[in-house]
Amino acid sequence: MKVYSLDWDDDDPVFDFKLIGFASSLVRDYDFVFYLNKNCRFNFSRIKDQEITEDGILYAFSAYRFYHLKTRQEIELISNYSFPQTIKENTGLFGETEVIKTLIPEHRSFNYFLKSDFLLDEEFYTILPNLESIREYQKISINSIKMKNLENLILPT
């Protein structure tokens, strides 16, 4: 089987996006999406999971997309933690181990990332501090993320 890889430049327009990290008490992705939809007037819907293969293991990260009419941009919400994968081991007391991968290891404290082409409207930023289920949120510089991990944020269309 042939394996192809993509070479990206640091200034490639595919990496021209804004990123906000969220730490939330809502650990189920669909609960968090419902919460954002209800409180921020979004209408996220589920899209194909972001899949990453590492060391022969396929990890899946939930992903959602919404078209924001005011700003005329697609906004994506991506889970920072994969669904648990069961790995069979030949050693140890237990024959199986559950493994969870982090999408962006540089920002482990965040459960979710909101990705947009440019900043959202001011109304969104005034609502955020009042949302009780969001413990922390932060605008993240994409320069603080390794190139290999930045590629994980490029979702299939």
Domain locations in the chain as residue ranges: 15-153
pLDDT at 154: 84
Cβ-based neighbour number of residue 120 at 10 Å: 19
**What spatial distance separates the first Cα and last Cα of the chain, rounded to whole Å?**
24
Using one digit for the tens of pLDDT, what is the confidence trace for 21-38?
999 999 899 999 999 999
Residue 153 predicted with pLDDT over 80: yes
pTM assigned to the model = 0.83
Residue type, 73: Q
What's the average model confidence in pLDDT over 12-25?
80
**How far is it, in rounded angstroms, from Cα 23 to Cα 38?**
18
pLDDT band at 108 (very low <50, low <70, confident <90, very high): very high
Higher-pLDDT residue of 143, 108: 108
Residue 91 predicted with pLDDT over 50: yes
Share of the chain above pLDDT 90, in %: 50
Residue 144 predicted with pLDDT over 90: no
Tokens 């969870």, located at residue: 100
Higher-pLDDT residue of 30, 11: 30
- Is 24 in contact with 111 (CB distance < 8 Å)? yes
Residue 85 predicted with pLDDT over 70: yes
**How far is it, in rounded angstroms, from Cα 86 to Cα 100?**
9
Tokens 């590629």, located at residue: 151
